Structures are given as C-alpha cells and as structure tokens.
Amino acid sequence: MEVCGRTVPAKHTDDGIRATEKDEPIDPTSVERYLDKKFGDDLDCAEAELQTLAKAYRPKELAEAAYPLYEKFRPDIPSGKKGWGAEGDLDLGLIAKLSKRD
C-alpha cells in the first residue's frame, strides 16, 4: 500500500487493512500507546487538526499533497538530534492554517 508516496507493507485482516512488521499486522493498541506517549494531552487536538486538514482535500488531491503538507508542518528537530523519534514541537496553528486553502 502507498502512503504519502511511500510504500508501507500491509495486509488485509478481518478488521481491515493493517500495516505490517515482519509480515505480521501491527497491533493498533501499540500504535495508540505510542501516539499517546508522544503527544500526551495534545493527542486529541492534533488528531482533530490533522483530520480537518485531510478533509480540506479531495481524496486524489490529498494523495498527491500529503507528503508535501507533512514537510510543511513536521516538527523542526533540535540541532544535535537526528531522525524519526527525535522530539520536536508540532505547530497545530500551522496545520489549522494549511486547512484553510485559498
């Protein structure tokens, strides 16, 4: 399956399509715990802003715009830190502005 222009290994399950790791579906509960740990009290707000942003696009438009949008709002990583998992601040105000398309 393709997400933001990148291939993500996935398979169909009784509960729908699930991303996989080592050919096994990833447990959604573990993903929820990870997100809760990273976002804390801001998780609901972040999810709401991202859903609003996604709804501002038609599905085909979103498929093309998703990664460029992510590049605009992804947190800046502090100097001396690298890669995925490095902590940064997600600007929910910027995401809200991006959802108000001109």
pLDDT digits (tens, 9 = 90+) for 58-100: 999 998 999 999 999 988 776 776 666 667 788 999 999 999 9
Query: Residues with Cβ < 8 Å from 43, sequence gap 6 or more?
Result: 35, 36
Average pLDDT over residues 1-30: 91
Domain boundaries of the chain, sorted by first residue:
2-99
Q: Are 73 and 94 in contact (CB under 8 A)?
A: yes
Predicted TM-score of the model (pTM): 0.79
Backbone φ and ψ of 89, nearest 5°: -105, 120
8-18 confidence digits (pLDDT tens): 999 999 999 99
Residues 6+ apart with CB under 8 A from 77: 83, 86, 88
